[in-house]
């Protein structure tokens, strides 16, 4: 840090870095702080201080029910996408077959496909074929958009994996499944966890697919927030967003504390 400040270029880069962080974090800070205002509308800085909007958001059963739906769908989508993504990444890195690059491109294609186009296409497909019912339609759609994130994180990790370790386990009598679960999986676990977390966040935050495919009686939390904003942007809606930001911050803080504890223990 001291060396960077001695150089004019380093000072400029540090200033740009600080401005970038401020640009990204200040809107989030506004969302968290604005609902503390006593007015019936959002204002920043808040005019007066009260917890009634946060209390109203917590006591509203619509948001709690939608949160449980989002958590259930995001968890199921992330787990299914993790299994499919890891299996695909393992096959793409271990075997050289005709069309391997094409198959990888197909798995990654949802990253560049507009979500609205995918939502309309899946709605027509499920309507005409009658495949899947209820929340499973939305879960299937979320799996499609989550697999690329798992794949993008898992592929580099598996490509760097030393195959001699797996071959040694096979030579010692381990079956292919045993070698994968006892040797490969523990080594690539950080990449798998990262990909699963990305898939969970992507599914939890998705709005467009949920608007088309979610059950009318069981909307997800993003859809509920979107509908509330359309009717009128009350401070309680911002309070829900602020609670999500605070929950994310607490999870990140807990993760860093656990990581620091593990490093000290090791």
Q: Which domains does the chain have, with CATH numbers?
A: 1-50+236-266 (no CATH), 62-232 (1.10.3720.10)
Tell me the C-alpha distance between 72 and 135, whole Å: 10
Tell me the C-alpha distance between 188 and 154, whole Å: 8
- Return the residue matching tokens 């007066």: 48
Cβ neighbours, 10 Å, residue 232: 8
pLDDT at residue 143, rounded to an integer: 93
Q: Give first-to-last CA distance, the chain, whole Å.
A: 29
User: For 246, how many CA atoms within 13 A lie in the half-sphere containing its CB?
Assistant: 11
pLDDT at residue 1, rounded to an integer: 46
Q: Strand ranges (DSSP E) for the chain?
A: none
- Kindly report the backbone phi and psi dihedral angles of residue 140, in degrees, each rounded to the nearest multiple of 5, phi listed first: -65, -40
Give the Å distances, CA to CA, from 26 to 20, 22, 35, 39, 214. 10, 5, 15, 21, 32
SS3 234: coil
Residue 116 DSSP symbol: H
Farthest CA pair distance, the chain: 71
Contacts of 30 (CB under 8 A, 6+ apart): 44
- Kindly report the backbone phi and psi dihedral angles of residue 165, in degrees, each rounded to the nearest multiple of 5, phi listed first: -65, -45
pLDDT at residue 78, rounded to an integer: 92
Give the Å distances, CA to CA, from 178 to 34, 46, 168, 174, 231. 54, 59, 12, 6, 55
Contacts of 48 (CB under 8 A, 6+ apart): 37, 38, 39
> Model's pTM, two decimal places?
0.81
Q: Which two tokens stand for residue 21?
A: 């962080």
Determine if the peptide bond prior to 8 is cis (ω within 30°): no
pLDDT values of the chain reduced to their tens digit, one per residue, 266 residues: 445 556 777 788 888 888 888 888 888 887 777 777 777 666 677 777 777 778 877 887 888 888 899 999 999 999 999 999 888 888 888 887 788 888 888 888 888 888 888 889 888 988 888 787 888 899 999 999 999 988 888 888 888 877 777 778 778 887 878 887 888 888 788 888 888 888 898 898 888 888 888 888 888 888 888 887 776 667 777 788 788 888 888 887 887 787 777 777 76
Give the Å distances, CA to CA, from 174 to 140, 169, 181. 34, 6, 10
Do the beta carbons of residue 178 and residue 215 sit within 8 Å?
A: no
Contacts of 28 (CB under 8 A, 6+ apart): 245
């Amino acid at each position: 840090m001291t060396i960077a400040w001695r150089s004019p270029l380093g000072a400029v880069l540090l200033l740009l870095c600080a401005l970038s962080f401020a640009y990204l974090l200040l809107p989030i800070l506004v969302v968290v702080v604005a609902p503390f205002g006593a007015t019936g509308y959002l204002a920043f800085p808040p005019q007066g201080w009260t917890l009634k909007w946060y209390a109203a958001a917590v006591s509203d059963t619509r948001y709690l029910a939608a949160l449980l739906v989002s958590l259930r769908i995001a968890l199921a989508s992330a787990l299914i996408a993790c299994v499919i993504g890891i299996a695909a990444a393992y096959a793409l890195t271990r075997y050289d077959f005709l069309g391997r690059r094409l198959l990888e491109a197909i798995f990654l294609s949802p990253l560049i496909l507009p979500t609205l186009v995918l939502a309309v296409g899946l709605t027509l497909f499920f309507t005409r074929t009658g495949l899947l019912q209820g929340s499973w339609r939305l879960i299937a759609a979320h799996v499609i958009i989550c697999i690329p994130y798992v794949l993008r994180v898992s592929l580099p990790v598996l490509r760097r994996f030393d195959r001699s370790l797996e071959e040694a386990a096979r030579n010692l009598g381990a079956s292919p499944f045993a070698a994968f679960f006892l040797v490969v999986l523990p080594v690539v676990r950080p990449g798998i966890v990262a990909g699963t977390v990305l898939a969970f966040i992507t599914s939890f935050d998705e709005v467009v697919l949920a608007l088309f495919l979610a059950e009318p009686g069981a909307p997800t939390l993003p859809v509920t927030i979107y509908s509330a904003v359309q009717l009128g942007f009350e401070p309680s809606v911002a309070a829900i967003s602020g609670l999500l930001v605070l929950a994310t911050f607490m999870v990140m803080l807990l993760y860093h504390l656990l990581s620091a504890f593990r490093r000290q223990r090791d």
